[in-house]
Amino acid sequence: MTQQGKLSSATKEFLQSLIIALILALIIRTFFFQFFYIPSRSMESTLLINDRIIVTKFSYWFNEPQRGDVVVFKYPLNPSTLYVKRVIALPGENIKLKDSKLYINDTLVSEPYLPDDLKFEDFGPVEVPEGEYFMMGDNRNNSSDSRTWGFVKKDLILGKSQVIYWPFDRLGRIE
């Protein structure tokens, strides 16, 4: 085989491998995992500005979002914008914020992810419609969330935030 034939064969093999890798990456990104950048302080201290996270898109294929999950979803008023918030109340539940405490169906709910001294405004009570969720940022005083723009339909939820992968000193699971 000539030098040109070897080069041509090696080039074809490389291009085939590259195309397969790109197709696999596209499939994985489209259906399984996605990477997101955190642009705001609305989820402090769980997520900080410039954190980068991995979201599993398959998390809710067979299960429903649970209270406390940190999710990425399409903003209901502009679906081309993505938000990251915590699921606070589930379909059919009544939510109330009173004296900086969360009540679901008149039962006090523990929120260990919030600072103990955090004070925020009263809200509600409101009932979450079926098929929708009530979302809030952990930085309650600096978060545009369901208190402002309403509920999030399940089909707008893209996936569950799982891991902070950057910066390395914050590497870990999202709780």
Q: What token pair was written down for 56?
A: 């599993």
Domain CATH number, residue 69: 2.10.109.10
- What is d(CA 166, CA 90) in angstroms, rounded to the nearest whole number? 30
Instruction: Say if residue 2's pLDDT is above 70.
Output: no
- The residue segments making up the domain with residue 115 are 33-173
Rg of the chain's alpha carbons, rounded to an integer? 21
Confidence of residue 5 (pLDDT cuts 50, 70, 90): low
Shared-domain flag, residues 14 and 50: no
- What is d(CA 8, CA 35) in angstroms, rounded to the nearest whole number? 36
- What is d(CA 47, CA 25) in angstroms, rounded to the nearest whole number? 26
pTM of the model: 0.85
Shared-domain flag, residues 96 and 127: yes
- Strands 152-153, 52-56: pairing is unpaired
Confidence of residue 117 (pLDDT cuts 50, 70, 90): confident
Active site residues: 42, 85
- Quote the number of domains for the chain: 2
Shared-domain flag, residues 19 and 79: no
Confidence of residue 6 (pLDDT cuts 50, 70, 90): low
CB 143 within 8 A of CB 114: no
Shared-domain flag, residues 133 and 74: yes
Side chain identity, residue 139: N
pLDDT per residue as tens digits for the range 59-105: 999 999 999 999 999 999 999 999 999 999 999 999 999 999 999 99
Closest CA relative to residue 104, chosen from 117, 90, 115: 90
Q: What token pair was written down for 117?
A: 């001294």
75-83: Cβ within 8 A, 24+ apart: 75/149, 76/149, 76/150, 76/151, 76/152, 76/153, 76/156, 77/149, 79/156, 82/36, 82/158, 83/135
Shared-domain flag, residues 126 and 90: yes
